[in-house]
Amino acid sequence: MRIDPGAVSAAITGPVKQAQADPSQHAQRAVIAKKKAARLDAAELGKAALTPAQPVDLGRTPAAARAQLQQAVAQGPTYPAHNVDSPRPAADPTTTPAADSRMAQFLASYGAAKGDSRYNDKFDLDGDGVIGFSDLNALLSQPAEPATPQRVFGASDLDGLLQAFNSRLGDSGFNPEYDLNQDGVIDFTDLNNMVNNMAPEAAAQSPAAAELTGLLGAFNKRTGQEGFDARFDYDNDGVVSFMDLNKLLDELTGS
């Protein structure tokens, strides 16, 4: 089922034309009509969400625009789960781009009028008291916010993380500065993130960083495979594994 653009237009303009004979009721009826149109759009979006595999006819309706946005989000890239056998854990998905967060907030308030619990005045960009299609157009026309630069770590950061390694939130040695993915424990994921984002000069000057980088480069490699480095096969079983990583970490942390 689709909303006829002409029917939506009539729903918005019809009450306004009738109100021309009574100017005192013009603004009130226009707002009511716009709220009704927004509710129709919300209902239409719900139906579109039930059939995500079907192509969305963009048309000219606000509901179609919202459905297109929802499809774009649903079809966006997904982050793989961390594989403990991988030398490089999955990219950290905990940081959400500011633009995605802002659009989610906008969609949550779409169709609300001033006084409604969902109404958010920062998204009423045209100032008409209703968060509608014109506000969506204005939001999409705004320039993108600059991306947050990736943090670069130094040798002192690595030393601090190693001192807090394996500590959990609430432990005396826990330091939230090194809980990079904010999961409440300072573990291999945080260590790998830091080593992969160290300043080049820091990595060259830090023996710990050099050893960790070397082991991670040979991780999961077996004797005879390209990339295998016997220096990091501490248990001499022919494969650089987590057993070897734990051995190195024990040496670096003094455990």
Domain boundaries, the chain: 5-74+81-141, 155-253
Tell me the pLDDT tens digit for each residue of 204-248.
788 888 888 889 889 899 999 999 999 999 999 999 998 998 899
Share of the chain above pLDDT 90, in %: 24
**Candidate from 99-113, 115-129, 133-147 with smallest mean pLDDT:** 133-147
Q: Tell me the mean pLDDT in the region 108-123.
A: 89
SS3 per residue for 123-134: HCCCCCCECCHH
For residue 15, pLDDT beyond 80: no
For residue 68, pLDDT beyond 90: no
Tell me the pLDDT tens digit for each residue of 149-171.
678 899 899 999 999 999 999 99
pTM above 0.75, yes or no: no
